[in-house]
Amino acid sequence: MDNYHSDQIRNVVLLSHSGAGKTSISEAMLFQAKAINRLGKVDDGSTTSDYDPEEVKRKISLNTSVLPFEWNKNKINILDTPGYADFVGDLKAAMRVAEGAVIVVCAASGVEVGTELVWKYAEEANLPRILFINKIDRENADFFKTMDQIEAMLGRKCVPVQLPIGAESEFQGVVDLIAVTDDAPPEMADRVSGFREKVVEAAAEGEDDLIAKYLEGEELTDEELRRGLRAGTIEGKVVPVMVGSALQNKGVSELLDAICSYLPSPKDAGEIQARNPQTNQEESLQPDESAPLSVLVFKTTADPYVGKLTYMRVFSGILTSDSSVWNSSKGSAERIGQLYRIRGKNQEGVPKIVAGDIGAVAKLSDTGTIETLCTKEHPVVLETIDTPSPTLSVAVYPKTKADMDKMGGALTKLADEDATITVHKDAITAETILSGMGEAHLDVAVEKIKRKFGVDVRINTPKIPYKETITASVKAEYKHKKQTGGHGQYGHVMLELEPLSSGTGTEFAQKVVGGSVPKNYIPAVEKGVNEALNEGVLAGYPVTDIKVTLYDGSFHSVDSSDMSFKIASSHAVKDGVNKAQPVLLEPIMNVQITIPDSFTGDVMGDLNGKRARVQGMTPGDGINVIDAQVPQAEMLRYAIDLRSITQGRGSYTMKFSHYEEVPQHITQKVIEESKREPEKA
């Protein structure tokens, strides 16, 4: 199984709306190819692909599984991806290392939201694809109704190359529209003839000599039809549509034949574009074993017992076990140990992975997801994976002291595994923030760190990183005087506080004359000022956009000290801020929302209720892009809101813009909440 060249390999990503049957299809493929002895089922968690405990529990795919097998003297690497939108990071990574896709559509449900999404991703990536209409044996299954939907929503380049014989419980098999035999019932003759003509037209358009022959009225041979369909599929002009039932294992061997016949090999996909990190020049690599080594890491899993497992695709050259390579993304050497062929959770040692193939290695010390491995003599960096930014955040708290000690490391490993998860500590609220693609994504992440790393955490809505500022100039004075036995304490400062323009931050200045505050105490005054500004007077948030000037004071030759002046300046700042008409500031975000036209009214209505200021709208091709500025406090659950309003068809990006004054009625709520915080703690 490991002596294949790049023209005999097919890397195929399975895509669909959640529940269309990708995992059942991948299981049927493995069974058909005799890679497994019995068909596993999603319902009882016995499939090769869904082996993670959370997948078994939830009965859906949460991770991409790699499933290699042999078919017709080819090696096929199936990448079974999650169908649920929250796990789009794994899906995008799998698409990056595949040359072709099989998009699965349920014959009863038809084209669903997830179908449209994965179709859009495949179009953006120019990924040649086959459509497989699954579950034709299910109640309410209707091939022709589904086909009408496909043509209307995905385009007329989708051409059936098979028709089902019967449907629902009457489903008996399929009719091949290329090599038509006498299998089809007589009542299907007209349909077979009409649909075959569409196949002939689509195949003829694949190659110039075939279109010429077709236009001259000559009959195209079966071999010419397949050749034309292959050319058209690889160019993206044609999407062959097939039909069957994964659970009945019908239509699966024909799908495997079509993968080998119509989808491109790594060699067909052509040159690989890479960048030399030393010269920053672009270069092209040939997808074969004799070319310089280029390897892309597309997935990492961390396991407390096995350690780190790194999934990789070799784009050019040969990667061998027990070798040294160069991580060009980080500029560091990496030692490769035993290489593995992975099938689900099973690992089998292999001596090498050749150009075009996929494999894995354990315990790499310094290499993460989306990084390139190569040789130091010929450094290259491959194009990375288009990973969407996280859309939902939660604050994470350890449940016990023991969890606190382990939480940081566990969260770091979690982020290493999944490029769509980020972890950071908010400097203002001091909360640890975990961000991901949605509610289910974060729920699974929390379960994962408990199961894999033994860390129990609770999650909460993140606090908003408010700030405070002043709106008037004032003068403030404080004399810290304390007499005890021996040396006393004496520090006296006179400060001027002025508001600065938004986004300036804080400034400290001094214009003391005549030595009323000796120079050696001025750093202590500045320290006291900064400490006081870290905790405002309204709700305890940092004070910003303020200038504090020390202009006078006094000292005592014996009792003055750094500490005395620090205490005096801290008190003076708090008194001054209180008098300077303080206000609360909130972060305002730049939000860009992309939605189908039909949801514009609902989304705009929702934004109006979120104190949003719409900056503009850009319509085009049935899609509307709305640009708005919205307070962060209103956006904490927007990933869930937008999904609900648009039935999962909307998406958005969000970036920090600036701070703005909080309306008075909301300020009062924030102040009251801050007073309750110590009680909660």
93-98-104 Cα angle (round to 5):
90
pLDDT computed for residue 388 by the predictor: 84
pLDDT at 366: 87
Task: Find out if CATH 3.30.830.10 is the number for domain 468-580.
Answer: no
pLDDT on residue 681: 46
Q: Does domain 584-666 fall into CATH 3.30.70.240?
A: yes
Q: Residue 102 pLDDT > 80, yes or no?
A: yes
Phi and psi at residue 227, to the nearest 5°: -65, -45
The string of DSSP codes covering 322-389 is: SEEEEETTTTEEEEE--EEEEETTEEEEESEEETT-EEEEE--SS--TT-EEE-SSS--EE----PPP
Closest CA to 652 of 679, 612, 621, 681: 612
Which residue ranges make up each domain of the chain? Answer: 6-180+238-269, 272-382, 393-448, 468-580, 584-666
Give the largest CA-CA distance in the chain: 115
Exposure b/e, 634-654, CB count within 10 A at least 16 = b: bbbebbebbbebbebbbbbeb
Q: CATH fold of 393-448, please?
A: Alpha-Beta Plaits (3.30.70)
How many C-beta atoms lie closer than 10 Å to residue 277's C-beta? 16
E strand residue ranges, 113-257: 129-134, 158-160, 162-165, 173-176, 239-243
Q: Look at residue 40 in the predicted model and tell me its pLDDT.
A: 84
Span 474-498, pLDDT tens digits: 999 999 998 776 678 999 999 999 9
Angle separating helix axes 208-215 and 189-204, nearest 10 degrees: 130
**Per-residue pLDDT reduced to its tens digit, 403-428:** 998 999 999 988 888 889 999 999 99
3-state secondary structure of 544: coil
Taking only the tens place, the pLDDT of each residue in 509-555 is 999 988 899 999 999 999 999 999 999 999 999 999 999 999 999 99
Residue count of the chain, please give it.
681
Q: Which CATH class for the 6-180+238-269 domain?
A: alpha beta
Taking each continuous run of H as one helix and of E as one strand, the counts in the chain are: 17, 35
Q: What are the CA-CA distances from residue 88 to residues 42, 435, 459, 492, 654 (Å)?
A: 20, 14, 22, 61, 18
**Nearest 5 degrees, angle CA 441-CA 20-CA 238?**
110
* Residues 120-171: tens digit of each pLDDT: 999 999 999 999 999 999 999 999 999 999 999 999 999 999 999 999 999 9
**HSE of 237 in the Cβ direction (CA atoms, 13 Å)?**
14
Question: Would you give the DSSP letter of residue 171?
Answer: -
Full-model pTM: 0.87
> Within 13 Å, how many C-alpha atoms sit on residue 160's CB side?
25
List of residues 6+ apart from 621 with CB closer than 8 A: none
Residues whose CB falls within 8 Å of the CB of residue 132, separated by 6 or more in sequence, listed in order: 25, 102, 103, 104, 105, 241, 242, 243, 244, 251, 255
Higher pLDDT, 585 or 346: 585
Task: Return the CATH fold of 272-382.
Answer: Elongation Factor Tu (Ef-tu); domain 3 (2.40.30)
